Amino acid sequence: MTEPYAGRRAGRLPRVVRAWPGAVLLLAVLSTQLLAVPVQDDLKLGVVPYKSPRSIVRLYSSLAAHLSRALGRNVRVVTTNSFNEYLQRIYRRQYDIIVLGSTFYFKAHDRAGYQAVARGYPSFRCGIIVRRDSGITEVGQLRGRRMAAVDIMDRGGYKLQVRALKASGIDPDSDIIFHFRGRHDSVIYSVLSGQDDAGAIRLDALQRKEFDNVLDKLRIIYVSPENPQFPFAVRPDMAPELKEKIGAALAAITMAGPETAAILKKLHLQGIERISDTEMEELRRRRQAEEAGR
């Protein structure tokens, strides 16, 4: 029987075997080079849970994709099921970028050092809604009624409406039965279904497509003064150049291009402007003066 490789020169290995040590060396060099390149984690865009987690991801996914392209780094939308859980994650600095109401922003800034970089516009108003067939036409008629609100910490879905109640001589602690529904759309549905007699919401929540066919069933009995839109803020330990890139990328979302215009339309905004902590502190002082004057 012929021996394997018979007729070859003694001690000479087949070509594939002789090539193997070189391949191993090449792979080792490539592996070392790959390990030398740092792997960047996703940037987490933490959005305040004013809607369901699924809806939040749907609304902000286009914005996250825009940021990913601008930064050359993946940006992922994350949220929670409750305002309290959201704040606790902020205090632990689990988000790189946050989108939240100004009341929550001040907590994030004071407790965890987050810094404002941008804010949407125009401003928005809040209000109190009732069913049109309820017979309720003014705030003073809400004494003894059930009222849906978003959360006890929410300015647009509770605090401003409480001021309106007090201005009408109603004690919100003893004269109103509050039900906290967690989200603006949940408040609207609770009023439409008759579970609650009135609801405290941001009025731009009524612009959502899902409510197009029911607007004629609702009446607005209180409208607040204008309020600034949600600010965008970043972690205090973020590299200055990354912070600057994020602010610039957000400000580049305009109505001029079809893709960026679609992002704004989803969020019911006309644009996003650069802001700083200085402007947010001025807003805080105005609100404190407003509170002191009441």
Question: Would you list the domain boundaries of the chain?
Answer: 43-123+228-292, 126-223
Q: For residue 294, what pLDDT is reported?
A: 57
| Rounded Cα–Cα distance for residues 66 and 195 (Å) | 40
| Rounded Cα–Cα distance for residues 40 and 238 (Å) | 13
Q: Is 228 left (phi over 0), alpha (psi -120 to 50) or beta?
A: beta
Q: For residue 40, what pLDDT is reported?
A: 73
Q: For residue 38, what pLDDT is reported?
A: 52
| Rounded Cα–Cα distance for residues 146 and 154 (Å) | 18
Q: For residue 209, what pLDDT is reported?
A: 85
What is the tens place of the pLDDT at every residue in 160-192? 999 999 999 999 999 999 999 999 999 999 999
Given a cut of 70, the residues of the chain with pLDDT beneath it are 1-39, 293-294
| Rounded Cα–Cα distance for residues 51 and 185 (Å) | 7
Question: Please, are residues 117 and 246 in contact by the beta-carbon 8 Å criterion?
Answer: yes
Alpha helices in 72-180 (DSSP H): 83-91, 102-112, 160-167
Q: For residue 21, what pLDDT is reported?
A: 53
Residue 11, classed as helix, strand or coil, is coil
Q: For residue 15, what pLDDT is reported?
A: 52
How far CA 154 is from CA of 20, 96, 257, 287, 293, in Å, comes to: 66, 22, 33, 15, 21
Q: For residue 54, what pLDDT is reported?
A: 93
Q: For residue 287, what pLDDT is reported?
A: 84
Tell me the whole-structure pTM to 2 decimals.
Answer: 0.76
| Rounded Cα–Cα distance for residues 61 and 220 (Å) | 32
CATH topology of domain 126-223: D-Maltodextrin-Binding Protein; domain 2 (3.40.190)
* Matching fold, domains 43-123+228-292 and 126-223: yes
CATH topology of domain 43-123+228-292: D-Maltodextrin-Binding Protein; domain 2 (3.40.190)
